[in-house]
Amino acid sequence: MLPASARPDPAPDAPDGEAAGGAPGAKAPRPVRLIVEQLDALTGAKQVSLGEIVLSFGRTSFLPVMLVPALLLVSPLSGIPLFSTFCGLCIALVALQRVAQRQRLWLPGWLTRRQISGAALHRGVRVLRRVADWLDRNSRPRLQFLVTPPMNVVCYGLCALVGLTVPFLELVPFSSSLLGLVVSLIAVGLLVRDGVYVIGSVLLAGVALSVPFFVVAKVVE
In SS3 terms, the chain reads as CCCCCCCCCCCCCCCHHHHCCCCCCCCCCCHHHHHHHHHHCCCCCCEEEHHHHHHHHCCCCHHHHHHHHHHHHHCHHHHCCCHHHHHHHHHHHHHHHHHCCCCCCCCCHHHHCCEEEHHHHHHHHHHHHHHHHHHHHHCCCECHHHCCCCHHHHHHHHHHHHHHHHHHHCCCCCHHHHHHHHHHHHHHHHHHCEHHHHHHHHHHHHHHHHHHHHHHHHHHC
User: How high is the pLDDT of residue 23?
Assistant: 44
Does residue 32 sit within a domain? yes
Does residue 187 sit within a domain? yes
Rg (the chain; Cα; Å): 16
User: How high is the pLDDT of residue 178?
Assistant: 93
Does residue 51 sit within a domain? yes
The pLDDT confidence band at residue 216, using thresholds 50, 70 and 90, is low
Q: Name the residue type at position 51.
A: G
Query: Which pLDDT tens digit goes with each residue over 148-206?
Result: 999 999 999 999 999 999 999 888 878 899 999 999 999 999 999 999 999 999 999 98
Span 16-27, mean pLDDT?
41
Does residue 2 sit within a domain? no
User: How high is the pLDDT of residue 184?
Assistant: 96
Q: Which domain holds residue 213?
A: 16-220
CA-CA-CA-CA dihedral for 181, 165, 110, 94, to nearest 10: 60
CA–CA dist 103, 179 (Å, integer): 26
Per the CB < 8 A criterion, the answer to whether 90 and 72 are in contact is no
Span 127-131, mean pLDDT?
92
Whether pLDDT at 11 is above 70: no
User: CA 99: distance to chain centroid?
Assistant: 15
| pTM > 0.95 | no
Counting the structural domains of the chain, the total is: 1
Does residue 3 sit within a domain? no
